[in-house]
Amino acid sequence: MNSYGIINFSVLGGGGEVGANCFELNCNGTRILLDCGTHPKKEGLECLPDFKLLDGAPDICLLSHAHMDHCGALPYLCKNFPGTRSFSTIPTRAIADRMLRSSVAVMDILARERQIYDYPLYDHSDVAYATRFLDGLPYNQPFEIGNGTPIELQFINAGHVLGGASIFLKFPGHNVLYTGDISHRRQFLMGAREQLDEQERVDTLIIESTLGATEDGGLGSYAEETERLAESIREVIDRGGTVLIPSFALGRTQEMINVICHLQEKERLPQVPVYSVGLGRAIYQIYDRYADYLHPDCELQPLDRTESLKNVWEKSFVEKLLLRPSIIIATSGMMTENTPSAMLAQSMASHSHHGIFFVGYLDPDTLGYHLLHSSRGDALQFELGAPPVEIVLEDIQQFRFSAHASRQYLLDMVERLNPQNVVYVHGDSDALAWMEQNSSNGARSFVPETGHKLILEA
Ligand SMILES: [Zn+2]
């Protein structure tokens, strides 16, 4: 029987939480996965989407962008379902390859040091295989996909990070827009998201809800937060301290390097050395290669404007480094134990004159969150196997440079697109509940948990 217009929707991950984003659309037997991520807070096989929910091999996997919660499980998928074709934007293809290779290295370390025997979930040859079948497409160019069922795919610039895209799919009789992670505000490097052509109808909107629980007033503008950050950095440098800015490897690191260098150029920050460390430097080279995709008004600083730091795991090196004021941008953004930002903070925390400034989201289960909410005299462990460090440092702050759309913007978007079905995903339970309760366009709305299946009719 011809069931065009009806889409069977399954949540393999990312339902009811910000998790291993992976959603299956099954239209008349053609199975398409939207994203294929790993869960940021789970380990081993647990961090994968629930592939058991698939009732057959997927035909196509589409990646919205290269953050690990959207692409981290792609090599595992391709290893288990050989021949699955994938598509992303051209920059996302390059970044995903780099991120996934780094993930192999991290999994190898965790397998050895923490005895997580499921790791590695895939190796370098699996990454090479997955990226061989991953095609990069430009924005705004409709592309025909589908075996038997004609399906049109289009990537639309989502802002957020380099290569980030919303995915527009035209199935016969049913149009679907999956936002992925979107930002409607200009960042330093990234422009705002682009809108779907007004002529296009959206029957089903699958929308991220990251900031659903965050009042819009709690978000400063990019310019205001930049000014507040500059002021705080100046205070630390004036008292002879070093500033650590823990940053996510993809997005925030490249933004922060440019924000800091720009402030120095304008003489709004002292000319102290600026260092960067971690995977963010490798991703920076991809930003440089695809600089055409950045906001036309921004001029990307050359990477060598910041010196690389390689020895952050050597305590004597870090102690010497901290003798002179500097600004250090280091992964990881949430300060996972043993990462460069944690190793630097370990030496900084026992002095009062430094500053640690978080510039992104902090999950309550992370070292970064505990450090931000610590009091003088608390003890925290920064390195597995090492003793906890007594916290003397007090200048620990958080700045709100969000790369996600505000909740009012998300609501307005639902209103404007006026779809028949809205599926809220990628948010914690408070955020999702707020979004569902406050949208009032009369659409059928769904907040599915991972494991749920929906039948979407156009
Ligand atoms: Zn993202």
SS3 state of residue 18: coil
DSSP state of 286: H
Main-chain dihedrals φ then ψ at residue 430, nearest 5 degrees: -65, -45
Give the residue from 348, 374, 398 where a domain finishes.
398
If you measure from the C-alpha of residue 150 to the centroid of ligand 1, how many angstroms do you get, rounded to a whole number?
Answer: 29
Query: 208 C-alpha to center of ligand 1: Å?
Result: 10
- The verdict on residue 35 lying in a domain is yes
Chosen domain end from 374, 398, 422: 398
CA of 93 from ligand 1 middle (Å) equals 15
- Ligand 1 mean position to 119 CA, how many Å? 24
Shared domain for 227 and 316, answered yes or no, is yes
CA 27 to ligand 1 centroid distance, Å = 27
Q: Are 166 and 235 in a shared domain?
A: no
- A 10 A CB-CB count for 345 gives 26
What single DSSP character describes residue 395?
-
Q: What CATH number corresponds to the domain at position 444?
A: 3.60.15.10
Q: How far is the CA of 67 from the centre of ligand 1 (A)?
A: 5
Q: Which of 9, 39, 55 is nearest to 422 (CA)?
A: 9
Q: Coil, strand or helix: which one is 326?
A: coil
Output the CA–CA distances (angstroms, integers) from residue 63 to 83, 172, 236, in the order listed.
16, 22, 41
Task: Please indicate, yes or no, if residue 134 is contained in any of the structural domains.
Answer: yes
Report the separation in Å between the CA atom of 338 and the middle of ligand 1, taken as the mean of its atom positions: 23
Which domain covers residue 350, as residue numbers?
220-398
Show pLDDT as tens, one digit a residue, over the chain (458 residues): 446 789 999 999 999 988 899 999 999 899 999 999 999 889 999 999 999 999 789 999 999 999 999 999 999 999 999 999 999 999 999 999 999 999 999 999 899 888 898 999 999 999 999 999 999 999 999 999 977 789 999 999 999 999 999 999 999 999 999 999 999 999 999 999 999 999 999 999 999 999 998 887 666 788 899 999 999 999 999 999 999 999 999 999 999 999 999 999 999 999 999 999 989 999 999 999 999 999 999 999 999 999 999 899 999 999 999 999 999 999 999 999 999 999 999 999 999 999 999 998 888 889 999 999 999 999 999 998 899 999 999 999 999 898 999 999 999 999 999 999 999 999 999 999 999 999 877 899 999 999 999 999 99
Which CATH number belongs to the domain containing residue 342 in this structure? 3.40.50.10890
Relative to beta strand 243-246, strand 274-277 is unpaired
210 and 243, same domain (yes or no): no
- Ligand 1 centroid vs 326 CA: distance in angstroms? 29
Strand order in the sheet with 307-308: 307-308, 274-277, 327-330, 243-246, 355-358, 396-398
Gap from CA of 444 to ligand 1 centroid (Å): 26
Report the separation in Å between the CA atom of 250 and the middle of ligand 1, taken as the mean of its atom positions. Answer: 9
CA–centroid distance, 273 to ligand 1, in Å, is 30
341 part of a folded domain: yes
Q: Distance from the CA of 320 to the center of ligand 1, in angstroms?
A: 36
* Same-domain pairing of 12 and 54: yes
Q: How far is residue 140's CA from residue 152's CA, in Å, rounded to a whole number?
A: 12
Closest C-alpha among 357, 370, 366 to residue 401: 357
For residue 328, CA distances in Å to 55, 280, 315, 341, 374 come to: 48, 12, 16, 9, 21
Q: In the block, which residue shows the tokens 């906001």?
A: 295
Tell whether 133 and 192 lie within a shared domain: yes
Please tell me whether the peptide bond between 125 and the residue prior to it is cis, using omega within 30 degrees of 0. Answer: no
| Dist CA 354 CA 131 (whole Å) | 42
Domain end, chosen from 398, 431, 448, is at 398
* Helix (H) or strand (E) segment spanning residue 30: strand 30-34
Q: Is residue 312 part of a domain?
A: yes
Distance 404 CA to ligand 1 centre (A): 8
Confirm whether 1 is domain-assigned: no
Instruction: Give a yes or no: residue 360 inside a domain.
Output: yes
C-alpha 133 – ligand 1 centre gap (Å):
22
- Based on the fold, state whether residues 65 and 21 are members of the same structural domain: yes
Same domain (yes/no): 232, 316: yes
Ligand 1 centroid to 182 CA: how many Å?
8
Q: Looking at the 3D structure of the chain, how many domains does it have?
A: 2
Let me know whether 137 and 242 are in one domain: no
Do 45 and 133 lie in a common domain? yes
Give residue 185 CA to ligand 1 midpoint distance, Å: 15
